[in-house]
Chains A and B, each alone.
Chain A
Amino acid sequence: MILGSINPAVLIAALMVAATPILLAAIGELVVEKAGVLNLGVEGMMIMGACLGFIVAVNTGSPFIGFIGAALAGMALSLLFALLTQALMTNQVASGLALTLFGLGLTALLGQQYVGVTPPRTPKLDLGFLSDIPFLGRAFFSHDIVIYLTIALVAAVWWFLKYSRAGMILRAVGENHDAAHALGYHVKRVRTLAIMFGGACAGLGGAYLSLIRVPQWTEGMTVGAGWIALALVVFASWRPWRALAGAYLFGGVVVLQLNLQAAGVRIPVEYLSMSPYLITIAVLVFISSGKSRASSTAPGSLNRPFHASN
């Protein structure tokens, strides 16, 4: 049997690794969009995180400090976006695209001295006996800590948006910023904080690429991961757990097609690679029609600028 050379446990393990960068970026962007802001600069913030996280990790010798640096770098770039869109009222789509181009260019410059450098390794988390369980140990309990923290972050975001007072304010701002403003909430402050959170998450996602998944710094190394994260938010219809499922599905498609190819199975790779986007379009069509509409459409004020005078 040709499929004999594919080990399902390894497949699941690889899928979780492949999914984590886009999941981190997507969960951040999800919060941003829930606050009513569309930041298309995810790719730019990711590459900032990938580059700065790498530089910090190499210079300090600690991947963990590297991840913190990546979060701060992503956040710094997102603050630029916040300044443009919240204070200066520029167009969000154009500002986001500009952010991506700026991030790609800036990191090409900053990272020049770091091409070919080996980063400090991120240790696998020692989970003791759990890692020794047949199959499950290899699939789920033999990862670095970032993978588990990412899942915890999804849970935290879910709880925050659903149950916390602050989360409800954030959603109110995203659904109807005029009403939120009338109630006395600081629309711009909430949005700026959300944008910063999104930047930090995207930065972490980028650093996961450069410090763990690849691991090295190469110019332009995110190659579209930020755009997949954006698609993922829509695919998830702005729900954290669906974003997790979607990221694992997207990651799974990539890993599965590589495995099938290596095993010599004749598969139409082009179509499989296309499938995440096709599914996203299908989900968009589905949620914009039919019964589920009310519960799973985009936040009402998404991509609409807010000014208190309106």
Chain B
Amino acid sequence: MKKLLTAAALSVTMAIPATADTTKVGFIYIGPVGDFGWTAGHDRARAEMAEHFGDAVETTIVENVDYGADAERVMTQMAISGTDVIFAASFGYGPDVNSVAGRFPDVAFQHATGYIQDHPNISLYDARFYEGRAVLGHIGGKMTETNTVGYIASFPIPAVIAGINSAYLHAKAVNPDIQFRIIWTYSWFDPALEADAAETLIEQGADVIMQHTDSTAAVRVAEDAGVMAFGQASDMTQFGPNAHLSAIVDRWAPYYIDRVQAVMDGTWEAQNSWLGFADGIIEMAPWNDRIPAELQEEADGLIAAIIAGDYHPFTGPINKQDGTPWLADGETAPDVDLATMDFYVEGITAELPN
């Protein structure tokens, strides 16, 4: 086995000069590129990046790759076949990326939304989705007539929890009676389960559905039930032209172009990037016409303030759910708190799963 790996590593080092003109870029995805959500967002960026560089890059994708052995096998295969930089586009690939990166020090690894960085050839990148969630909360809080927001969440990881907190705080700010009902599906992609969850939330009084899962099912259900919804990661308007208020749209392209350029220039270095509205990595899908003009302006203003750095979505005073103080008046949340968030803020009535 070890021999095989050495041979593999050799073939990589030999492959690089041989294909010096084209940079090989590999992508592994947790879902199908046709999910119209998270994976679609990454693949959009891949296509944009490929178009930007033209013949100078050659991209490969493998979709529906499970965490664990499958991911390791796919990335190892990519590394052996001379890929220069591998983008692993899901949180759960962390251990696999680190294990493969250790064996292929000459390959650059880019891990989305991860936190493990054991080797100097691993870069981490993430988007400040909570900035977008603040906008959703503001709009949702004003648009709801039942004062109830239904939230379909995937896994209780910091990014998702921070999203719920951000949406809640901004809904609460404009609507003191707001109530959040939260369902955890323990899956990123399960259309039937997400549809059932949306129906359950609507049945229990929610008239605005937010989701942190990848399928378009909830928007579809909201459209049929005549309530409102926000899409996830991609513009999901076509699945519910009336229901779809907006969506946080992931735009990884500028970052991907930047990183692939660095690989081409030989200046690629491991970094840990957390990018938001200001970097053009996330943007909002076009406002639905049913959002009143003044509310659209408020939302635009909120985004502008975040971009300008005048406003941080987590600005104190904010208490944790149990009443203990988290941020003092005027204090903004340090990144480390957000990246490790494991608590709800005060006012959310649901209990956070462990």
Contact = CB atoms under 8 A, between A and B. Distances in A.
B288 to A, nearest CB: 17
Nearest to A263: B204
B32 A108 contact: yes
A228 to B, nearest CB: 11
A91 interface: no
Given A269-B184, A270-B186, A273-B186, A262 B192 contact: no
Nearest to B351: A266
Contacts of A222: 192
Contacts of A244: none
B66 interface: no
Contact of A269 (B186, B191, B205): B186
Given A116-B238, A214-B195, A259-B204, A223 B181 contact: no
Interface string B147-190: 00010000000000000000000000000000001111011011
B189 A262 contact: no
Given A7-B203, A214-B220, A273-B186, A223 B192 contact: yes
A contacts with B: majority SS? helix
B36 interface: yes
A221 B203 contact: no
Interface residues of B, number: 38
A23 B23 CA distance: 50
Contact of B34 (A108, A214, A255): A108
Interface residues of A, number: 37
A214 B32 contact: no
Given A108-B34, A262-B201, A266-B351, A254 B193 contact: yes
Interface string B60-87: 0000100000000000000000000000
A216 B183 contact: no
B31 to A, nearest CB: 8
Contacts of A219: 32, 34-35
A218 B351 contact: no
Contacts of A112: 34
A274 B286 CA distance: 40
Contact of A214 (B35, B184, B217, B353): B217
Nearest to B31: A220
Contacts of B349: 264
Interface of B: 31-32, 34-36, 64, 150, 181-184, 186-187, 189-193, 195-197, 199-201, 203-206, 215-217, 220, 238-239, 349-351, 353
